[in-house]
Amino acid sequence: MIEAGHFAAILALVFSAVQAFTGLRGNRGQSGLFAQLAFAAMVFAFFTLLWAFARSDFSVQLVAANSHTLKPFVYKLAGTWGNHEGSMALWCVVGLGFGAAGAWLLKSDRPVFEARALGVQGILSLSSLLYLLLASSPFTRLDPAPLQGQGLNPLLQDPALAIHPPMLYLGYVGYSFVFALAAAGLIEKRVDRQWAKTARPWALAAFVPLSLGIALGSYWAYYELGWGGWWFWDPVENASLMPWLIGAALMHSIIVTEKRGSFAAWTSLLAVLAFCFSLLGAFLVRSGVLTSVHAFAVDPLRGSFLLGGLLVLGGSALLLFALRAPKLKGGPDWLATSREGALMGNNLILTVATATVLLGTLFPLIAEAAGQTISVGEPYFNLTFTPIMALALLALPVVQAWAWGKADLSSLWKWAGGFAGLVALFWLAGIGPFDIPLMAGIGLALGVWLIVGAGQEMWRRAKSLGRLPKMPLRVWGMTLAHAGLGLFVIGAVLQTSGRTQTTLALEAGESANIAGWTVTLEDVRSIEGPNWYADRAHLIATKPGTKAELNPQKRYYPAARMPTTETAIHKTGTADLYVALGDGRRAAGGPTRWTFEVFVNPLIDFIYVGVILIGLGGALAMFDRRGSGKVS
């Protein structure tokens, strides 16, 4: 099976080469056919890897290095992509899948445009398959085969991490197809309203899974690592945040190109940048230049291949833009005080925010290459990224009500008064019954501002309750996404500024208090799982009217020789009581005292509900047929 899969991957490479050649020549039928053949071949190749993991075939080097007979079946399958080689195979499947989807769904009166888009996608698929087969082959055999495997990284044996990589790849690789559409438009010197109608669903098809994938990674880090937070400005987290920010700018820029025919060059540049940042993310995670709990450590030779691919593909994309963008037709003139001007301002702010994240992520690497050790952490991002994004969010409810061409600024003072009133309300609440810091009050006012603004914009468009069900899906999508953004801001502000944290040292039967909770340690026992053993604590947490049992664990995986933390979280609807088990120490002749990290995180679920609403809003806009159109 593995040899058949290897042969199928080589066939996929050949088919992708033919797809690229015929597509760039303008042959729509042949490029579409070979795009689908390449996808079918790679799906079979990936299936053979799944089969090898399911059977624990340790004669396959990838299986021996990332699986174990005692591992639960679902994590055996997840082990297929829970490593560098297997995840690159999945990357190729997704890339070829977008090419096949394009061959099936792109239907217009411009077959040459479609063929060239498929041709560019064929080049990108060919590049990823060359890297897979020449530098990261998952089909290598071992002779003799070991009797037992080494096991998957225990941190990856988790439902969220089983889904997280496929979702991220749908986003990362999805932007490669948006770039392919932009490249085809640049080649033909035509990025116009009809092009934007075609590109918009594909941009959303990348943005939605990327958003959900980032949220899954964040939630995994929250409950698995035992650090008690939801975002740590880890370089690997930043690697996925940067294309998301550019992707958000791209969506708003496409709206202007579709509605007004403006921003053609700018929209093309954002499509190129989204693609380049996706490549940069892949390089940072897989090159070995970063140290992270969820980076793939690979050898320097593979890192050199990745860097070369980033430079060649990214450089070619930017060169194509530089040569063709000046020849694109511009749309009608626009003013800064118009919806076009506001959306351009939104784009610029998101681009600057991306640049600050890029600088904070790469500067330590640059300094290390120069022989210095410099750490860039949360304070830098709080001082740079947070104010920039706050400015964009503050303007959002105001400018989305502006008209195309020229806005009426007479209501601007009413909006300013409304936001000032919200800030004053939260400041007074901080002085009175609630302990709300000054900056947190501004943040909470900003979150409510976004939710109210989203509702107000929907009402402005509908004008009556009876018309609400008849509103286009893309309007509903915009409303849900902006309201979700408001929920996210409220959850992030409250969790960051209002959480309570303490370290407890308890022996059996002893109690301690935190944020109104009384936490009592009942006992700590040793337990065993299918491929691990652990110390499990049994805690009783009480407060007036509420009682909860928590069982945090500290596991050890013998096959991987690695410990993990399994936190215990009790949700009340308004906060999480979060407990992580530490070490046990026994004094001479005395009982064992166990340490616990305990957090009370208020309304942290607003963060994840907000992201779900953003994803749902994007999905609704993506399936709005009234927003689709043919390239003509």
Is 365's pLDDT higher than 60?
yes
Residue 526 lies in a domain: yes
| Average pLDDT score over the chain | 89
Residue 52 lies in a domain: yes
Q: Which of 460, 492, 524 delimits the end of a domain?
A: 492
Is 510's pLDDT higher than 80?
yes
pLDDT at residue 432, rounded to an integer: 54
Does 533 lie in the same domain as 518? yes
Query: What would the pLDDT profile of 149-165 be if each residue is shown by its tens digit?
Result: 887 777 777 888 788 88
- Per DSSP, 621 falls in state H
Does 369 lie in the same domain as 224? yes
Does 98 lie in the same domain as 68? yes
Is 134's pLDDT higher than 80?
yes
Does 261 lie in the same domain as 148? no
pLDDT at residue 431, rounded to an integer: 58
Does 165 lie in the same domain as 55? no
Residue 621 lies in a domain: no
Does 368 lie in the same domain as 293? yes
Q: Which of 492, 520, 553 delimits the end of a domain?
A: 492
Interacting residues of 468 by C-beta distance below 8 A, sequence separation 6+: 458, 462
Does 160 lie in the same domain as 148? no
Query: What would the pLDDT profile of 370-390 be if each residue is shown by its tens digit?
Result: 878 788 888 999 999 999 999
Q: Which of 145, 167, 135, 131 lies closest to 2, judged by CA?
A: 145
Angle, helix 412-431 to helix 438-462, in steps of 10 degrees: 140
Residue range 299-303: mean pLDDT, rounded: 70
Query: What would the pLDDT profile of 168-220 be if each residue is shown by its tens digit?
Result: 999 999 999 999 999 999 999 999 999 999 999 999 999 999 999 999 999 99
- Go through the chain and tell me how many residues it has: 632
Does 401 lie in the same domain as 368? no
Query: What would the pLDDT profile of 442-486 be if each residue is shown by its tens digit?
Result: 899 999 999 999 999 898 888 888 888 888 999 999 999 999 999
Does 330 lie in the same domain as 300? yes
Q: Which of 341, 375, 409 delimits the end of a domain?
A: 375
DSSP H or E run through 594: strand 592-602
Does 171 lie in the same domain as 144? no
- Per DSSP, 329 falls in state P
Q: How confident is the model at residue 112 (pLDDT cuts 50, 70, 90)?
A: very high
Give the CA distances from residue 477 to residues 170, 419, 482, 612, 621, in Å, rounded to whole numbers and listed in that order: 20, 24, 9, 12, 5
Domain that holds residue 240: 153-375
Does 400 lie in the same domain as 361? no
pLDDT at residue 133, rounded to an integer: 95
Interior/surface letters 336-374, b for 16+ CB within 10 angstroms, e for the rest: ebbbbbbbbebbebbbbbbebbbebbbebeeeeeeeeee
Is 69's pLDDT higher than 80?
yes
Percentage of the chain beyond pLDDT 70 is 95
Number of domains in the chain: 4
pTM above 0.75, yes or no: yes
Query: What would the pLDDT profile of 598-630 be if each residue is shown by its tens digit?
Result: 999 999 999 999 999 999 999 999 887 654 434
Query: What would the pLDDT profile of 391-421 be if each residue is shown by its tens digit?
Result: 999 988 888 878 888 777 777 888 888 888 8
Is 14's pLDDT higher than 60?
yes
| DSSP percent split of the chain into helix, strand, coil, nearest 5 | 65, 10, 25
Alpha-carbon distance 138 to 140, whole Å? 6
